[in-house]
């Protein structure tokens, strides 16, 4: 998989980023680790950890 440079840094990431705001909320611990293991196993390496995307959903903290 061809990695891309992240901005002006020396970091290189895959072109697909995993949205991780479901971990520990709608995905339990086992499912979360399974998804992360598969993601990394596929050669991907960037997780978006922002937690504000679904702040409007009732129950989201």
- CA–CA separation, 24 and 28 (whole Å): 5
Integer angstrom CA distances of residue 55 from 13, 22, 43, 51, 60: 27, 12, 30, 7, 6
pLDDT reported for residue 30:
94
* Mean pLDDT, residues 10-27: 88
- CA–CA separation, 19 and 51 (whole Å): 9
The pTM score is 0.72
- CA–CA separation, 61 and 46 (whole Å): 23
């Amino acid at each position: 998989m061809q990695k891309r440079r992240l901005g002006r840094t020396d970091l290189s990431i895959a072109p697909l980023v995993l949205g991780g705001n479901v971990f520990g909320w709608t995905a339990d611990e086992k499912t979360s680790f399974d998804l992360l293991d598969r993601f990394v196993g596929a050669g991907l390496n960037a997780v978006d950890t922002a937690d504000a995307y679904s702040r409007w959903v009732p129950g989201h903290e």
